[in-house]
Amino acid sequence: MGKNIAFIGAGSWGTALAVHLATKDCECRMWDADAAHLASLRDNRENLKYLPGVKLPDAIHICMEEPEIFEGADVVVFSVPAQHFASAFEKALGYLPKDAVIVNVAKGIDQKTLRRMSEIAFDIKPDARYVVLSGPSHAEEVIVGLPTVVAVAARERALAEQIQEIFMDERLRIYTNDDIIGVELGGSLKNIIALGAGISDGLGYGDNAKAALMTRGITEMRRMGIKLGADPKTFSGLSGVGDLIVTCCSMHSRNRRCGILIGQGMDPRQAVKEVGMVVEGIYTADSAYRLAQKIGIEMPITEAIYNTINGKISAKDAVAQLMGRSRRHENDIII
Q: Cβ distance 26 to 2 under 8 Å?
A: yes
Angstrom distance (rounded) from CA 149 to CA 314: 37
Residue 190: active-site member: yes
Task: Indicate if the pLDDT at residue 335 is higher than 80.
Answer: no
Among 302, 314, 324, 316, residue whose Cα is nearest residue 193: 302
More confident residue, 321 or 136: 136
How do residues 145-194 score in pLDDT, each as one tens digit? 999 999 999 999 999 999 999 999 999 999 999 999 999 999 999 999 99
* pLDDT in the model for residue 329: 80
Task: Indicate if the pLDDT at residue 213 is higher than 60.
Answer: yes
Q: Which residues pair with 152 in a beta bridge?
A: 133, 176
Q: Is the pTM higher than 0.85?
A: yes
Other Cβ atoms less than 10 A from the Cβ of 153: the count is 26
Q: What is the mean pLDDT of residues 297-303?
A: 96
Q: How far is CA 62 from CA 42, 65, 69, 78, 135, in A?
A: 6, 9, 9, 15, 27
Instruction: List the domains of the chain with CATH numbers.
Output: 4-178 (3.40.50.720), 186-323 (1.10.1040.10)
- The residue type at 206: G
In 143-250, which residue ranges form alpha helices assigned H by DSSP? Answer: 157-167, 180-203, 207-227, 243-249
pLDDT band at 334 (very low <50, low <70, confident <90, very high): low
* pLDDT in the model for residue 321: 85
Q: What is the mean pLDDT of residues 89-102?
A: 95
Among 151, 142, 215, residue whose Cα is nearest residue 187: 151
Angstrom distance (rounded) from CA 219 to CA 75: 35
CA 98 from centroid of its chain's CA atoms: 26
Q: What is the mean pLDDT of residues 100-121?
A: 97
Q: What is the mean pLDDT of residues 274-296?
A: 96
Task: Collapse the DSSP code of 127 into the 3-class scheme (helix H, G, I; strand E, B; otherwise coil) and give the result.
Answer: coil
pLDDT band at 2 (very low <50, low <70, confident <90, very high): low
Catalytic residue selected from 3, 24, 107, 190: 190
More confident residue, 2 or 52: 52
**β-pair type (75-78, 60-62):** unpaired
Q: What is the mean pLDDT of residues 267-294?
A: 96
* pLDDT in the model for residue 328: 82
